[in-house]
Structure 1
Amino acid sequence: MAQKQRVVVGLSGGVDSAVSAWLLKQQGYEVIGIFMKNWEDDDDSEYCSSRQDFLDAASVADVIGIDMEHVNFAAEYKDRVFAEFLREYQAGRTPNPDILCNAEIKFKAFLDHAMRLGADKIATGHYCRVRLNGTTGQYELLKGLDPLKDQSYFLHRLNQNQLRNTLFPVGELPKTEVRRIAAEIGLPNAKKKDSTGICFIGERPFREFLNRYIQKEPGPIRDDQGRVVGQHVGLSFYTLGQRQGLGIGGVKTQGAQKGGGEHAPWFVARKDVAHNTLWVVQGHDHPWLQSPQLQALDASWVAGSAPALGRYGAKTRYRQADAACVLAPNGEGAFALAFNEPQWAVTPGQSAVLYDGEVCLGGGVIHAATATEAPLPEVPTLAPRGKKVRRR
């Protein structure tokens, strides 16, 4: 009798990974669960406690009838993910740590650990799929079949070796079916709410968390005419397209605004790090919020090399519909995208991810975006001010 293939499943305590483990066992695999602890600071707080997740994962393992191991990757996470997260925010950009976590922890540190346990494959509860292309002999990363849950955007940095060794059992299912299976087999977390936010921040206010590590550096908030309309607490605490928390909701300016009237809401449009100035505009459709093209760096391609110049679809943020664009390589590890229609609030530090239909090709980190109307008004020159990081 052939020996069963061993699959090590990352059990997060959520319903998706739980159903993934059950499906794999039903398919005849030898299944082992791993609970990954990636954050220790404040872990006993009300906002970011992994204890309940661990208990949920252990309960799932018990119901399914598999062994589970608790593994601490907090040191690797702090070095490979959190340190980069802080560097990006200091530089005035808005990073996506979940993408880096997948590439560096869940599909590197976890994969290495699983292989040491004698695993043939690893599995997670992500909504995406892997396919071996019979023509090219390469593994492809495909969107999950549930368009509302597709998570390929977060996994676009995975390479051939990682995809070769990974299974995504729920990628073929809609979320409603996953919930139904969990309830039918009596999983204790069948109705557990999906987690939101970054794991080390949890549900706490983001500004409150960031303030522990990055020093506030107040400065002026200016409108598109160069007029001071308020004061910001530090550029790191804002992101492009942000509407809430600006503290200028009641401010009115004289004259019509591009893209909005006198009472239109304010949005963050640009961050000038050199002059510590936050630029805001009124109206969702203001030209400064529209970008017909972008430049990206630190490119990572699933196939190992850049796709050919041509027409593709791209996302500049999660849950966005694919936007038609033209890809142009722009030097080693860099590329440019020109969109058929301008994209809203394209944000440096976020990822631009390229698609050919249902196939996720990879992507890169947005470095700059060209607004429909780019020039800034003349304002008094301020001496650049450095930022400091507070170490706890």
Structure 2
Amino acid sequence: MKVMLGVSGGVDSSVSALLLKQAGYEVSGLFMQNWDEDDNGECRAEEDRKDALAVCGKLGIPFYSRNFAKTYWSEVFAHFLAEYRAGRTPNPDVLCNREIKFKTFLDEARALGAEKIATGHYAQVRERDGLFELVRGADAGKDQTYFLHQLGQAQLAATLFPIGHLPKAQVRELALAAGLGTARKKDSTGICFIGERDFRDFLSQYIPAQPGVIRSVDGQDLGRHAGVFYYTLGQREGLQIGGVRGRPAAPWFVVGKDIARNVLYVDQGIDSEWLHSRRLRSEAAHWISGAAPADEFRCTAKTRYRQQDVDCTVQVLADGTLDVVFDAPQRAVTPGQSLVLYQGDVCLGGAVIAETDAPFETRLRHGELP
């Protein structure tokens, strides 16, 4: 079988190439450049491309390189900016997987004669009763099904995850034993197009600063912010609020944003009641199987990556949106982020969070904020 592997220049895709070749597949590697280099050179695409090329050369497999930056800009980055302008916090990795790695890349792989694609994600695919299931990776600390929950039957049927059954430590051991140059390469973190640079500085290139007031939930003005777009719920860093007379010495956290008035609201204490919610409404949900398990059902959920699963009850509404009630209050559930649902180790799908019943959001909707 001809398989096109997405090679990134990292250890995970390198070992995926090794395992595919050992399993007897006719494997090729394709490097995707999703962001054109800027003056800062933070994305390091050329360095990663050279590492990917070296691995393919050592393993004796064909290497291809394609620039998908134009598609990435229109299908992922434009949405990323629109969400921030609306005061929400998007997750570009989810869109990148749906629109680039499992759509544009899949189309290109097929054009090059591949029957299936493969990636170095920590996830697994299982076929049961004619349906393909997305199953958590064996390494719970590295599982990436959260970012893959927008995939459907057609993508899963065409996809292999060669390292999904392995712990990360063993992946590095296999790379060392095979003499792959990426064996000790540091894992990439964050978003490629931002790299190691300051997030606020990067975003200000596209969304100009709009200074405004930082205000406590009881109405005291505490300082100034550069723009409410640059902050997210639960954030502590970057507020620059010093000691406030008459207030305890506890740290301050972002609890909400009033976009219309350009006011950033904060409260003290990591467990501020203003950050907690028991219920959320989502946008229309995507189901990996093609349909919801039932109109109402119990499952577990994540509202952010690497969060522990939490028990909840899900009601599927007539328009496809979800009404989700958690068994226990959840901290900093953030509109724009993804709600991802699970039954055991199987990822059911998910949806973008639209609103919650957190005290701040409730009062903002009713115009009750100071």
Bin for the TM-score computed over the shorter chain: over 0.9
Secondary structure of residue in 1 paired with 2:163: helix
State the partner residue of 2:29.
Answer: 33
Which ranges in structure 2 are unaligned for 5 or more consecutive residues?
none
Secondary structure of residue in 1 paired with 2:57: helix
Residue 225 of structure 1, CA deviation: 0.5
State the partner residue of 2:304.
Answer: 317
Residue 45 of structure 1, CA deviation: 2.8
> 1: CA distance between counterparts of 2:80 and 2:359?
29
CA deviation map 1:284-318 (0-9, x unaligned): 11111111111110421101122311110000000
2:317 to 330, 337, 345: 330
Is the contact between residue 109 and residue 117 of structure 2 (CA under 8 Å) also seen in structure 1?
yes
Is the contact between residue 172 and residue 183 of structure 2 (CA under 8 Å) also seen in structure 1?
yes
Do residues 85 (structure 1) and 72 (structure 2) align?
no
Secondary structure of residue in 2 paired with 1:307: coil
Runs of 4+ in structure 1 off by over 3 angstroms are 372-380
State the partner residue of 1:108.
Answer: 103
Residue 329 of structure 1, CA deviation: 1.1
Do residues 339 (structure 1) and 334 (structure 2) align?
no
> 2: CA distance between counterparts of 1:298 and 1:16?
33
Do residues 219 (structure 1) and 212 (structure 2) align?
yes
Which ranges in structure 1 are unaligned for 5 or more consecutive residues?
256-261, 381-392
CA deviation map 1:192-245 (0-9, x unaligned): 000001011111110010000001111111112111111111111000010000
State the partner residue of 1:283.
Answer: 269
Q: How many residues align?
A: 366
Do residues 156 (structure 1) and 127 (structure 2) align?
no
Secondary structure of residue in 1 paired with 2:15: helix
Residue 107 of structure 1, CA deviation: 0.2
Do residues 273 (structure 1) and 232 (structure 2) align?
no
Is the contact between residue 226 and residue 378 of structure 1 (CA under 8 Å) also seen in structure 2?
no
The aligned runs of 1:177-326 (5 Å cut-off) are 177-248=170-241, 250-252=242-244, 254=246, 262-308=248-294, 309-326=296-313
> 2: CA distance between counterparts of 1:230 and 1:296?
33
Residue 252 of structure 1, CA deviation: 2.0
State the partner residue of 1:370.
Answer: 357
> 2: CA distance between counterparts of 1:289 and 1:350?
15
Is the contact between residue 145 and residue 172 of structure 1 (CA under 8 Å) also seen in structure 2?
yes
Task: State the AA in 2 paired with 1:315.
Answer: K
1:99 to 73, 94, 100: 94
> 2: CA distance between counterparts of 1:113 and 1:51?
20
Is the contact between residue 37 and residue 44 of structure 2 (CA under 8 Å) also seen in structure 1?
no
Is the contact between residue 292 and residue 372 of structure 1 (CA under 8 Å) also seen in structure 2?
no
State the partner residue of 2:20.
Answer: 24
With 208-217 and 45-54 compared, the bigger mean Cα shift is at 45-54
Do residues 54 (structure 1) and 49 (structure 2) align?
yes
Residue 253 of structure 1, CA deviation: 5.2
% identical equivalent positions: 55
